[in-house]
Structure 1
Amino acid sequence: MALLHVDNRTIPIKGIVFDKDGTLVDFLHTWGYWVELMLDRFSSELKRLKLAPLSSDSYVLLGVTHRYGQGVVDYDRQGPLSVGSLNDLLTIFALQGYHRGLTWAQARLLAVQCQQAASKQLEDEQRIKTIPHVVELLQQCKQHQLKLAVATADDTLPARQQLNWLGIDSMFDTIIGHDSVARGKPYPDMIELVCRQLSLAPSEVVMIGDTNGDMMMARSSGTIASIAYLSDSSLHASDYPDADHLIYSYTDIAFS
């Protein structure tokens, strides 16, 4: 059993469950770009069908901040893009198509087609990069023989694929997505599944994530602690009421 040191507290653990987007990898680099691809393609298809294109309100509905000429520059850590499943996001897009005159079946199909095209472009470009100091942290974890898992709102296959692009997928003992369980975040199902796969009790693991949904999942499953990673200095404890600890850099964590 290793000792994790954070906020002047020492926590005995056997494993760590990580969120993926915004925790291991740069959220905006991948998903901000994905939003732009989705909105552009969806709007183009609406215009081709002689329907009103998407408006700037679409960014608000997805929980992202867009600036003209700069693209997506920030996101709500508690919003749909950050916490929601792929199905949630497709529903948001489909609703906008439906409100513009498509049938629900047409709107849903269009959302899926746009998603497939956007995801294909992400794959072709391998559009992903790690959060600073993540690789060093994972190496320390392996040195202390910790079991590592990823529990993400993304689907399992693309999550594995993206971590493979970075060459860090082999550092995790298991990787599961929203499609692996009946209920995603903030319910405890993902951590419960991870712990069964790793033969650990929730009380032997720590959850690290960038949303309060991650912290809620950790609390409801009974992890020994939850750690919120804050990528922006404008974020504060009030944004993470269910977190046990807050860090602004992975250098804030140590092991012995």
Structure 2
Amino acid sequence: MTTTDTATARTTTGTAMTGTANGSASSAFRFPGRWLEGAGLVLGPVLILVGVLLKTGPGDFFPDQLAAFARDPALMTASYSAFVAGVVLLCPAVLAVTRRIGASHPRWALWGGALAVAGLFARVFHAGVSHLAAQLVEVQGLEAARQAVSAQYTSFHVFQTLNVAVLAGWIVLAVGAWRAGAFGAGVPGIARSVALGLMSAMPLGVLKGTGPMSVLAAAGLCVALVPYGVKVLKDGPAPKWWAYPLVVAAGAAAVLLGTAG
């Protein structure tokens, strides 16, 4: 072998090794990662169930919900806050389930994940409008808040186009989870897939109260996702000891900075 051939071989080998190393590094990184996914799978459904249960009692529609805000603003604020926090945490949870489905059924994963995440965005928008309506009760009084909400309740907004996604996303995701065996084989896996699909029964829109279907949907979400979240969190090494106080400190700082405006 000549000197030129040797140099070429070394260059080719080095390039191949670099490509392999870069490929391994790329495949090792996963967004949003095991901890965010596991936290979303466990905490998201639980917070939604808490939010649903805290507002049990008042009627399902906005006049009764606004009246409940007037009677007990702290309780209702806690309820709506828990619910929307759970909705946000469901985003990494859906990504985790979608990745699991996509390993064998990518089309079901694509459509189920896209529809479910789009539906979560719509629910966050609804929560923002509900928050503003609740503030009107405190600032302008109950009757003025009722009139304002009633006057704009059917007004157009871009998230109306996602109403189908809010309902259908969970069904498509549930079918994909069943076909992929994401929650296990046999009857338990089927039952948990059906439980996931029950989330489509959660009422959508602004200032929605708690009814039997709300509780069923939230409970089904817990049955489907919480055990999977525990499995995801256990499937790997525990974080370093300093990660726990760091997360607490970051959370406290975020609260302080956010409330300070």
TM-score of the superposed pair, with normalisation by structure 1? 0.26
- Find the structure with the greater CA-based Rg: 2
| Larger helix proportion of the pair | 2
